[in-house]
Structure 1
Amino acid sequence: MVRIISKRKLRWLGIIIMIFVLASISVRIVVQFQFNKEIDYYKKFFKQNKDGLSGIYNPLELKQIPEETIDDLYLHELENHIKDIDWNKYAYVTYITDPDYLCNALVLFNSLIKSETFAKLVLLVSGSLFDPEITPPEQIDDINFLLDKLSNMQTFADDQIIIKKVNTIKKVNDDTPWNDSLTKLHIFNQTEFERIIYLDNDAILNHENENLDELFFLPTYITFAAPLTYWFTSIQDVEKSSKVLKKKSKVNINLNYYIKTLKTRIKKGQMIYNHLPSLPDTLYLNAKNLGQDIISSGPLYSPIFDYGTESVGNLKFATDLMVIKPDQAFFDEFMYYELPKILKSNEKYDMDLINGSLFNLKRIIYNQFQLFRKLRKHFVPNVLILPFNRYNLLSGSVKKNDELKILNNDILGYKRLSDSGEEVLFDIEDIVANSKYIHFSDYPLGKPWNYESIDKIKCDVDNDFDFDEADNENNYESNKKICELWNSIYQKYYDRREICFS
């Protein structure tokens, strides 16, 4: 009798579970249908009405800003409000948790000083570097020597350079080189500044007479801006996205059209957000069913409903250069709720937290659309995508032909076209010359300070490239030029590091 009752209970339990699952699926289908209807409506609405809209922002797109538009915004600010700019509210920020990286912090700040920026220069130093149980006494002496040298650099103001000790955020039982990279998160808490430009210090400013001050004057409502990880996508995906924009969405892919339109609107003091080129859906969303993909990025969504969905690319924000509006409440919230999850997880670090919980591309669209549905005219976007050629060139990309093809158009999906409609192509020299910030990244090669001189790592066309009988003299000369350019990037570090020893 007991056995019969148990079977009945199990049968009823199974029926109840089945009813629940079917009801959940039905609700999901209805919600998804409604989402798609709203998405279609608002996509058409903003496409047809953007010229006449004022103060209403498109929540269904992530916007990319061309470098020319960034410069136009900066020039407009200087021409109209130069006397009102309080440079004490702006700062360049970097951090160190490893003594080997300290010299390059001096190199970066010295380049910024030579560029005559008026912004503050802030170095966040891990407190553990001064702990004699962790750092040998002689190394602590070296650290203090370099910090004194940094403090005594000649600047336009005595208080331009600021050195702060911060608590180390370290993953226990993690022996990787990135186990304390979460210390970077302190940059979000530099609330004495209205806006900061964060720079990883395993990088170099390409031109010592140029700074990045223009990034301080992005639209004031933007609280986070960064380039994308172009090395995680492919030229095939980028070309596909461009074709979809042009043929299916009927979008003008000529970047020069946007640059001219935005320049005019900036001069007239008109809003520019809706006129910025959008990141193609196909690069980060399942474009066949946007409603499904937007819903699936919500915080309460269950992966049980992902059956049959298409996977999309790995495009995400790079975290080696970020423009941030620090906010105490935002910092406290993710430190309390999100950081503990990352600390407990294996092989997840600062980039995973920033792209997983804070600024996931799909989650941004979900949050924006949900806010827009509630607030309508009161919705304001806060995220922007920077051009990666100028603000995040990887040194290793110089040697990779596929990545160079992507760098030719760093507003993804769009192209600079000539008057005849032909794509304007840039050679490797133009691409490198245009870059302002170059990140040392040539795995498995280490950082340049791990080697005595350029001679230890120099690119040699005869050793670094394989040629067969089909290769001709033109290929040889082209690769020789690539080697010379790559060597010149690293040589700049070796020349500039003398400031640490002079």
Structure 2
Amino acid sequence: MLKSEDDESSDARLLIKARDSYNVKLVPITIQHRDNADSTWADSFTKLLAFNQTQYSRVLSIDSDSMLLQPMDELFLLPSVPVAMPRAYWLWPDKEILSSQVVLIEPSDVEFKRIQDKIEAASGDDYDMEIVNYLYRDSALVLPHRRYDLLTGEFRGDNHSKYLGSDVEVWDPAAAYSEAKLVHFSDWPLPKPWLPTPEDIRIKIQPDCKNTTEGLEDCTARIIWNSFYTDFKTKREVTFSDNYSLSRV
């Protein structure tokens, strides 16, 4: 929920600064908390309130552990559908489901009622991703994951056929970075990018450098992967004009 203007916490001050300095429209909500099997996702149903934002013809819901790399305005010009989502490519073909990390929504009373009914009937192992798949897996417009749902962990792997959708295309980390418009942080056991990162863990799990056919060392994937985390922190820096202190959003 939005905090009172009398609240002196850094979160409240950041919200006020976003509203006053960047013309962000703040909408009060109630956190949708459920005591699920995994406390990490206990509040994940909150994002589904986007289906009730009927003052807008379309809403683009993006997970907070994601970072925009390029504008995505073209999504608002897609053909009219209740929901558009990319595939959870890293789970295919074992689990042919859609990813809720980025969802283009046409809010409506009808769709929000469907969402509410599914949440009420959800089991302890159901989260936002399960809810939207129950309702839209077979009817959603599928967005290309290569442009709209790249995982940071892709740069650490050796087999990229699921991302490329091909067993013959050669993985090029620079090309993947150039075409991507959104990246989702997924590098367990590394914490989410707004949390302190133990340096020893970062070094341990960062991508390996590769030897080229010319005998040279290619660290492109490592450089790009590390840049995601440094860029995220840089973009999340906000200066409070009243006391010139820095804080992270």
Q: TM-score range by the shorter chain?
A: 0.7 to 0.9
Aligned to 1:407: 163
Aligned to 1:437: 182
Deviations 1:316-363 (A, max 9, x none): 11001011111112212331x211111xx222211111112x1133xx
Length-normalised TM-score, structure 2 = 0.83
Q: Which runs of 5+ in 2 are unaligned?
A: 240-245
CA contact (8 A) 1:205 1:437 kept: yes
RCO (CA 8 Å, sep 6+): is it higher in 1 or 2?
1
Alpha carbons of 1:340 and 1:476: their partners in 2 closer, same or farther (altered >3 Å)?
A: farther
Deviations 1:112-143 (A, max 9, x none): xxxxxxxxxxxxxxx2x759xxxxx98x7121
Alpha carbons of 1:315 and 1:146: their partners in 2 closer, same or farther (altered >3 Å)?
A: same
Aligned to 1:360: 137
CA contact (8 A) 1:228 1:386 kept: yes
Higher helix share: 1
Alignment of 1:314 with 2:98, yes or no, is no
Once residues 216 and 161 of structure 2 are traced to their aligned partners in structure 1, the CA distance between those partners, rounded to angstroms, is 19
The correspondence for 2:124, drawn from 335, 340, 346, is: 346
Deviations 1:132-176 (A, max 9, x none): xxxxx98x712111101111234xxxxx52111111211137561
Alpha carbons of 1:319 and 1:340: their partners in 2 closer, same or farther (altered >3 Å)?
A: same
Alignment of 1:219 with 2:79, yes or no, is yes
Aligned to 1:334: 115
Deviations 1:231-262 (A, max 9, x none): 002xxxxxxxxxxxxxxxxxxxxxxxxxxxxx
CA contact (8 A) 2:99 2:129 kept: yes
Deviations 1:62-108 (A, max 9, x none): xxxxxxxxxxxxxxxxxxxxxxxxxxxxxxxxxxxxxxxxxxxxxxx
Aligned to 2:141: 384
SS of the residue aligned with 2:18?
Answer: helix
Q: What is the CA distance between 1:497 and its match in structure 2? A: 2.1
CA contact (8 A) 2:115 2:131 kept: no
**Letter matched to residue 346 of structure 1:** G
Q: What is the CA distance between 1:482 and its match in structure 2? A: 1.8
Let me know the Cα RMSD of the aligned residues.
Answer: 3.0
CA contact (8 A) 1:459 1:486 kept: no
Deviates more, 1:488-497 or 1:178-187: 488-497
Q: What is the CA distance between 1:459 and its match in structure 2? A: 4.1
Alpha carbons of 1:130 and 1:483: their partners in 2 closer, same or farther (altered >3 Å)?
A: same
Length-normalised TM-score, structure 1 = 0.43
Q: What is the CA distance between 1:225 and its match in structure 2? A: 0.7
Q: What is the CA distance between 1:406 and its match in structure 2? A: 2.8
Aligned to 2:62: 199
Q: What is the CA distance between 1:476 and its match in structure 2? A: 7.9
Aligned to 1:45: none
**Letter matched to residue 315 of structure 1:** E
Aligned to 2:14: 146
SS of the residue aligned with 1:447?
Answer: coil
Once residues 464 and 390 of structure 1 are traced to their aligned partners in structure 2, the CA distance between those partners, rounded to angstroms, is 21
**Letter matched to residue 148 of structure 2:** Y
1:161-310 paired onto structure 2 within 5 Å: 161-172=24-35, 176-206=39-69, 210-220=70-80, 222-233=81-92
Alignment of 1:394 with 2:151, yes or no, is yes
**Letter matched to residue 180 of structure 2:** S
CA contact (8 A) 1:189 1:327 kept: yes
SS of the residue aligned with 2:28?
Answer: strand
**Letter matched to residue 75 of structure 2:** L
Deviations 1:250-283 (A, max 9, x none): xxxxxxxxxxxxxxxxxxxxxxxxxxxxxxxxx5
Give the count of matched residue pairs: 239
Question: Larger Cα Rg: Structure 1 or Structure 2?
Answer: 1
CA contact (8 A) 2:52 2:107 kept: yes
CA contact (8 A) 1:408 1:431 kept: no
Identical aligned pairs, as a percentage? 28
Alpha carbons of 1:348 and 1:440: their partners in 2 closer, same or farther (altered >3 Å)?
A: same
Alignment of 1:477 with 2:222, yes or no, is no
Once residues 341 and 395 of structure 1 are traced to their aligned partners in structure 2, the CA distance between those partners, rounded to angstroms, is 33
Alignment of 1:489 with 2:228, yes or no, is yes
Q: What is the CA distance between 1:181 and its match in structure 2? A: 0.7
Once residues 333 and 483 of structure 1 are traced to their aligned partners in structure 2, the CA distance between those partners, rounded to angstroms, is 43
Deviations 1:12-46 (A, max 9, x none): xxxxxxxxxxxxxxxxxxxxxxxxxxxxxxxxxxx
CA contact (8 A) 1:188 1:327 kept: yes
**Letter matched to residue 477 of structure 1:** E
SS of the residue aligned with 1:219?
Answer: coil
CA contact (8 A) 1:190 1:326 kept: yes
**Letter matched to residue 216 of structure 1:** F
Once residues 314 and 152 of structure 1 are traced to their aligned partners in structure 2, the CA distance between those partners, rounded to angstroms, is 44
